[in-house]
Amino acid sequence: MTTADVDDTGAHILHVDMDAFFASVELLDRPDARGKPAIVGHAGGRGVVTSATYEARRYGVRSAMPMAQAMRLCPTAIILPPHYEKYVEYSKRVMDIFHEVTPLVEPLSIDEAFLDVSGAGRLLGSPRRIAELVRSRVAGETGLTCSVGVAATKFMAKLASGRAKPDGLLVIPPGETIAFLRPLPVGALWGVGASTQAALERMGLRTVADLADAPLHVLQKAVGDASGRRLHELANGRDPRRVVTESREKSIGHENTFGVDVDDPDTLRRELLRLSTRVGERLRSHGMLGRTVAIKVRFSDFHTITRSRTLAEPTSVGRRLFEEAWQIFEALELDLRRTPIRLIGIRAEQLIDAGGDALALWDPDEEWRSTEQTLDAVSARFGRGVIGPASLVRRTKEADAESTDGRNPRWVSD
């Protein structure tokens, strides 16, 4: 589909996605590596791929892949150490360009955002022309390339930008949305992972057209009420979500990658308590409560699972988060001798503002809450780690060094 001669009336949503962002930033200072397979990451040890050029991706290299595996796939690749401060700097420059085009910008990550340009047309022209302007300015002012999808909804715009990669532009006119969607595999829909796709395909639902034509109750039987309804809407081209400019954390979490795989339950229990304590601290500092607790477990073979549980009452108490998280973990019934753990993490999700009616009249965590608020005051005055749960006395400095802040997660990029 060309972009010069299509009717983009009503296609006011842009999804802008930087191309191999981290790798592209590194190549600005390494012109000798352009056009060659290059991998951003720390070689050796337990390093993982932060990003890779498209030349390296042709060998099967992907973000978050162990560096050792990436080097086996592409032994001639040039290794580029990451420089996170550069990524933040260039991200800000790119986002500033977006905000100069329209005030309606919703960043999704450090290297992608939705733009609503419905109010910018009188000054800047049609959505397609605005997309071209964005691409031109990003290239001219940063030296980087981006891909832009233009459509009537957020889902379709994101789908279009993915099809336009790398360094491309694709417009999906509102009137052609259904025709564009129907031939696609079900895995193209937002939120359809491997397990959901397998469940749908077992029922003979292999294309978006199959989903669109299937009775709603059939989809709900396959993937649940909420997911079934959402997939049915997307398959029929309906996505009412607007570009949201408010900046608000949707979850708060911490995780830790161990230096050596762990098969000791006591060590895992202490680490989960430490991480839960830090999540509680951050919830309280933000004046927020979490309704859901989720844990993440990555095994020595890099297989990763997540599990979650909704609380009877929202909380910001680290001890309550830990108790719930440990129950979730124990329910996994793992044989740690056969499947030692490489990484463990916890997140508080479905965040709400604390205060008002957020707490129940009966607070089951009153004693823990009072204790942790006292610890907050001590930490504010003397620094974190001066006082805390006795069971954490044995924790190591290495654990702190490896811990990943849920607000600034391990960097991976497309």
Active site residue 112: yes
Checking phi first, is residue 302 left (phi over 0); if not, alpha (psi -120 to 50) or beta? left
Who contacts 68 (Cβ-Cβ below 8 Å, separation ≥6)? Answer: none
Output the six-digit token pair for 158: 């994101």
Q: 211 exposed, middle or buried (CB, 10 Å; 0-12, 13-18, 19+)?
A: buried
Chain-centroid distance, C-alpha 63:
13
**What does the alpha-carbon distance between residue 230 and residue 226 come to, in Å, rounded to a whole number?**
6
With CA atoms as reference, report the closest residue to 51 among 75, 15, 87, 16: 87
Q: 342 exposed, middle or buried (CB, 10 Å; 0-12, 13-18, 19+)?
A: buried
Q: Helices 84-101 & 21-28, crossing angle to 10 degrees?
A: 110
Strands of the sheet with 78-80, listed across from one edge: 51-52, 38-40, 78-80
- 301 is known to lie in a ligand binding site: no
Query: Per the residue annotation, which of 112, 255, 324, 372 is the catalytic one?
Result: 112
Helical H segments across 236-353, by residue range: 265-286, 318-331
- 96 is known to lie in a ligand binding site: no
Q: What amino acid positions are annotated as catalytic residues?
A: 112
